[in-house]
């Protein structure tokens, strides 16, 4: 996943209200679905400016916020400093190509998977990084016709997903309690001026 497009977009990323609203819905869904607690060590992959991660951080012991975009991480770092957050650590890393030491009680990613070419490989990496009993949460678009990103399509590898297919992948990777729910509907007007609705799902599972 190239970070160049996101480096350019980082400064104004939080200015789109639909992004802020979607992040809040995703964070709320993760919080209500999984038993988060203050002893949990967490990893967010594709953290961006921290819209989801910073909402969940108060419920966690630590959060390692990973992204490939330096620009996004710079915005996140500014937020951490200005809000005096002590349990979130930004980290620039491409998990599809680089290794990461440590194990986590929770791994989550939001609207990141469709930018990943080899999805099954990344999901396997997530599972490897979970402790026994740890939780995985993935939020992304349901399969769409490619109209969601329009001219923003740089780095888009998939036009959403069939969540049931991803659920089968997690089950094959050894996760249990795998479940899918629709958590949000994104309404967006595309370049042709047509208003469309794009469902967002949350996929969760537990290791061991």
Sorted by where each begins, the domain ranges of the chain are 4-207
- Tens digit of pLDDT for each residue in 21-70? 999 999 999 999 999 999 999 999 999 999 999 999 999 999 999 999 99
Q: How far, in Å, CA of 67 to CA of 6, rounded?
A: 10
**Average pLDDT score over residue span 160-165:** 94
Name the percent of the chain lying above pLDDT 70. 90
Single pTM value for the model: 0.91
CA 204 to chain centre: 12
Specify the CATH superfamily of domain 4-207: Vaccinia Virus protein VP39 (3.40.50.150)
pLDDT at 143 over 70: yes
Best CA proximity match to 41, nearest among 93, 106, 101, 135: 106
Which region among 35-49, 73-87, 191-205 has the lowest average model confidence (pLDDT)?
191-205
In order of 19, 53, 87, 108, 199, the CA distances from 79 in angstroms are: 17, 12, 13, 20, 29
């Amino acid at each position: 996943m190239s970070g160049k497009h996101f480096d350019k977009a980082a400064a104004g990323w939080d200015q789109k209200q639909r992004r802020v609203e979607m992040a809040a819905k995703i964070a709320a869904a993760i919080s209500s679905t999984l038993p988060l607690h203050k002893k949990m060590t967490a990893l967010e992959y594709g953290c961006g400016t921290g819209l989801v991660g910073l909402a969940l951080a108060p419920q966690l012991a630590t959060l390692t916020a990973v992204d490939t975009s330096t620009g996004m991480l710079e915005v996140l770092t500014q937020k951490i400093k200005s809000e005096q957050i002590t349990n979130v650590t930004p980290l620039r890393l491409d998990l599809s190509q680089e290794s990461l030491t440590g194990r986590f009680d929770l791994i989550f990613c939001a609207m990141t998977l469709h930018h990943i070419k080899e999805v099954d490989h990344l999901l396997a990496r997530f599972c490897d990084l979970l402790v026994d009993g740890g939780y995985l949460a993935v939020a992304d678009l349901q399969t769409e016709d490619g109209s969601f990103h329009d001219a923003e399509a740089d780095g888009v590898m998939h036009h959403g997903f069939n969540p049931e297919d991803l659920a089968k992948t997690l089950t094959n990777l050894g996760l249990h309690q795998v479940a899918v729910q629709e958590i949000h509907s994104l309404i967006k007007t595309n370049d042709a001026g047509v208003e469309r609705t794009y469902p967002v799902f949350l996929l969760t599972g537990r290791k061991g």
